[in-house]
Structure 1
Amino acid sequence: MKHYEKAISKFYSSLQFNTIPILSWDFTLLNFGNICKYQKDIDILSAIAFSNQWTLQPKFKEELQDKEQIIVVTDATLKIVHATNNIFDMNGYTVNEIIGKRPKMFQGKGTDQNTIAAISRAVKNNLPFEARVLNYRKDGSEYWCDIKAHPLFNQKGKVVNFIAYEREVA
């Protein structure tokens, strides 16, 4: 049993989350499922970062697990290449439904065009931005979304992706 505990501790510490005593599993099993769900997204985002040679390595775990934000990554032309699975909870779209589309798909008649113009200027100039946008769910209902986004550069200084951290607000 002594060697088992050391091995399992080493395994879980390599996954970047804390081990839990066996006696507490009944209290944390639901959270364990979320950790596993987030880990898949973290692995995908890390692979995108590696393949595009980002100079900045965002803290995906902190943004997803600790801050419970949605992460959306687009290519340089603003086509969505990945969104974390928790986007479904915010707007009803699955990841597969939005890959290859632009974030504009979430906008509608009530979305403030001045805010969208400010975002467009920031993107065009490769600048970070923060905005609160009125978006629309898949079912057509409205929700307010806080967005913090910035360009991601490769090692040659070229913009290869944009990353946005999003959260629904009341």
Structure 2
Amino acid sequence: MEFKEYEKAIARYHNNMTLMSLPLNSWSFYTSFFGKIRNSVGDTSLLETIVAQNKWKTTWSFNEQLQDDTVIVVTDANLKIVFASKNIIEMNGYVPEEVIGNSPKMFQGKLTNDKISREISIAVKEQKPFDKVIINYCKDGSIYKCHIKGYPVFNTKGKLTNFIAFEKIAA
């Protein structure tokens, strides 16, 4: 008898409920958020592979950087790009496959400040970190100010293996 009343109360409750559906624009928001998370996880996995293969002495929290819309670019010791995070497309229109194998100079042009470019080159030659804002070029030829924090990366034996740059559009 007690269960019968309980079941009736539950049935009344469910019958009085209205179905709440999500508006279609929330699907779009979720899809873009899910895509960003998926790319971030994939990029983090690729970066961890580079770290392991090159036996980096230092590591960074790549997932946090990528969640903060930071673009990560890794070059080999000869300054050829070996990795670019997927979110680079939002910064300059290039997809990672288009920049891999190239020099980061591919983003520079006639409005790029030569003095800042030289300062970066000197830091790279001296294997020192740098923090600069430079004018770079998008794939479509438009310009943007890029805040770059670059670091030399050494392996556990102290040998230079890579350079890593954390890049954001500067205000």
> Given residue 87 of structure 2, which amino acid in structure 1 is its aligned partner?
N
Aligned to 2:99: 98
Picking from 39, 42, 45, the partner of 1:43 is 45
The aligned counterpart of 2:35 is 33
Write the distance in 2 (CA, Å) between the matches of 1:125 and 1:112: 20
1-side partners of 2:36 and 2:118: how far apart?
36
What do residues 26-61 of structure 1 show as CA deviations (whole Å, max 9, x unaligned)?
688342332111100000000000000001011101
Deviations 1:59-100 (A, max 9, x none): 1011001x2100000000110000000001111111111100
DSSP-derived class of the 2:134 partner: strand
Counterpart position of 2:169: 168
Structure with larger Rg? 2
Aligned residues: 145
TM-score by length of 1: 0.81
Is 1:138 equivalent to 2:139 in the alignment? yes
Report the equivalent of 2:80.
Answer: 79
**Deviation >2 Å, runs of 4+:** 26-33
Unaligned runs of 5+ in 1: 1-25
CA distance, structure 1, for counterparts of residue 90 and residue 30 of structure 2: 20
Matched, 1:127 2:128: yes
Identity %: 48
Give me the TM-score of the superposition, normalised by structure 2: 0.81
Match of 1:63 in 2: 65
| Distance (Å, rounded) in 1 between the aligned partners of 2:37 and 2:93 | 21
Structure 2, unmatched stretches of 5+, are 1-25
